Chain A
Amino acid sequence: MNLKEYNKEMLTREMFQPLDKSEQNSEFIAMETKSFARDAWIRFKRNKLALLGLIFLGIVVVLAIFVPIFSPYTYEQMDMTALNANPSLAHPMGTDRFGRDILVRVMYGARISLSVGFSSAAISLCIGIMYGGIAGYVGGKTDMLMMRIVDIIYSIPSMLYVILVMLIFGSNIWSILIGICISSWIGMARLVRAQVMSLKEQEFALAAYVLGASTKRILFKHLIINCIGPIIVNLTLMVPSAIFTEAFLSFVGIGISAPAASWGTLANEARGLVETYPIQIIWPVAAICLTMLSLNFIGDGVGEALDPKKK
């Protein structure tokens, strides 16, 4: 209770003088002003697992950028004096059967895996928002047509696209990226369409329309920005699934080809030596697992931070 105690004797004439108007603050707002992003960040920080995930991912990104630059070895440089070496100061993760430094190869693999994950998410985001936004806002026959096209694309398994593209353009990172992107934007497009459809009937969107705002302005400044929450949540799920697809393809041998290294190829190469040198398979598998785990924690944290009611 913040009530001050008083007794009858305390009451003075002075206290019963009219209160100055300037002391009345009738439009008082106690709440601190916070932008949406700041508010979400504060909530995100409270989720310790998600924060841990973010820190881990940050470290992986930094290492992936700098280790290959500063390391004395390249990913394909063989050291015939140290085949299948155990971890040491010269090779912190040891070497593989050709004497290549595993640390550099894992970090090089991180470059490939993370860039596939993030670029495919970014591309899907752009296509999905445009496509879904237009279909949802215009509605009617346009929407019908656009959604049927989506259904047709979706009716073929996504793995098939990747394999087909790789058959045509060869197995490199670009064809994997294109293959993944052919179908991965569809989820985003459907999500954005559904959100836009329900938001466009809301009064703030109608108000913008009545004010004379152009379709572009209503779509981007009013509708898309208000479904940013679900979009980001969807995005955090898209990154790991793309990384997984790439790792899977490389592991079964139709992804990135040697001597280039991705986590999938590394695991595949170490597979043969799993009984004699198990340490070699642990590194890439650990990298995949921990990255997936942190991405999922981040996804959870972002979901909670953006939609505090859903728990």
Chain B
Amino acid sequence: MNEGPILKVSHLKTYFGSKGGLFSKGKVVKAVNDVSFEILHNETFGLVGESGCGKSTLGRTIVKINEPTSGSIEFEGRDIVKMKGAELKAFRRDLQMIFQDPYASLNSRMTVGEIIREPMEIHGLYNSTKERDQKVSELLETVGLKPDHIRRYPHEFSGGQRQRICIARTLALNPKFIICDEPISALDVSIQAQIINLLQRIQKERQISYLFIAHDLGIVKHISHRIGVMYLGSLVEVGESNSLYREPMHPYTKALLSAIPIPDPRVERSKAAVEISGELPSPLDLPSGCAFRTRCPFASERCAKETPQLRQVGDRQVACFLYEK
């Protein structure tokens, strides 16, 4: 096993410019606002937050779909922000991504065989088409589909089957790290478990690290070793998943946890809801200080003046003044 983290993100900022109109000034959306974290080899790091909190942008910045405004991303000790050309192409083999919408992430004009063969063609893996087809069949079986599905088109498959095709496509490159951007939120309940189990099995067999992005804390807790909670572009809490679930510290994590519907009427009836008031502020207009203070039941004057930083409290990191002396 290699020493050190496989992925190290430090002070990453991704801003989007919003063009100003004729009479208004352009504003900046701080989609990812100074985020730092590390992911170890063979680890699953869960990233949760509501829509618009920047979790997907963070994932997309790591695979270089979005350009970071500042900060560094190190993959196995190499900075990938400045990577170009052949080096970048080689890096792509190690770091892959699974997207949210299995209906949109497959090219509908290509057959399943062509889709899974494509990454091998791009990177010149294997020598002949025959060898590649052999590999495609193997991959289809790995994800629980049949080799005779190879000539079918994506629209003939159900959502879960398509997501498995997407997984097979990323596995064609044998990556060391996969970013899963809400891979199950568009799927049916009985299919979600299939995908989760498949991802876990693959991790065991191939020693892959995951960055697992989702809005559902329940699922993230199940699959992740550690969890980061994001709110309006910043990480507010990072910790080991079971402990974070049992004793959430940041008020936002608490609210998020209490909102998960539990499939058990007894638990649901006895559950005390942690109320957070209002709705997500516009990311164009972040509140001063702590971004969560407008909805936080414990907000004080200090929260408006200073921005809390992530700091070690017990077994985890929290960005909240409640845990400072």
Contact = CB atoms under 8 A, between A and B. Distances in A.
A207 B104 CA distance: 10
A27 B109 contact: no
Interface stretch (B151-159, B204-212, B254-262, B277-285): B151-159
Contact of A225 (B88, B109, B118): B109
Contacts of A31: 156
B301 to A, nearest CB: 42
Contact of A211 (B119, B149, B151): B119
A204 B157 contact: no
Contacts of A217: 122
A207 B153 contact: no
Nearest to B161: A27
Nearest to A26: B144
B27 interface: no
Contacts of B156: 29, 31, 33
Contacts of A34: 153
B169 A36 contact: no
B184 interface: no
A210 B172 CA distance: 13
Interface residues of B, number: 36
A71 interface: no
B97 interface: yes
A211 B96 contact: yes
Given A33-B153, A213-B118, A222 B107 contact: yes
B93 interface: yes
Contacts of A258: none
B236 to A, nearest CB: 28
Contact of A210 (B97, B108, B144, B153): B97
A206 B88 CA distance: 15
A222 B107 CA distance: 7
Interface in A141-190: none
B104 A202 contact: yes
A9 interface: no
Interface residues of A, number: 25
Contacts of A66: none
A22 to B, nearest CB: 13
B11 interface: no
A35 B169 CA distance: 20
A228 B153 CA distance: 17
A41 interface: no
Nearest to A36: B109
A212 interface: yes
B118 A211 contact: yes
A209 B65 contact: yes
Given A29-B156, A36-B153, A203 B93 contact: no
A208 interface: yes
A36 B153 CA distance: 9
Interface string B225-247: 00000000000000000000000
B89 A33 contact: no
Contact of A207 (B105, B144, B157): B105
A221 B123 CA distance: 16
A119 interface: no
A226 interface: yes
B296 interface: no
A203 B92 contact: no
Contacts of A228: 109
A225 B109 CA distance: 7
A212 B97 contact: no
Contact of A204 (B89, B107, B119): B107
Interface in B100-123: 100-101, 104-110, 118-119, 122-123
A222 B145 CA distance: 24
A40 to B, nearest CB: 12
B106 A204 contact: yes
B173 interface: yes
25 contacts: A27-B161, A29-B149, A29-B152, A29-B156, A31-B156, A35-B153, A36-B108, A203-B100, A203-B101, A203-B104, A203-B105, A204-B104, A206-B65, A206-B97, A207-B97, A207-B99, A207-B106, A207-B169, A210-B63, A212-B88, A212-B119, A212-B122, A226-B108, A226-B109, A228-B109
Interface of A: 27, 29, 31, 33-36, 202-204, 206-214, 217, 221-222, 225-226, 228
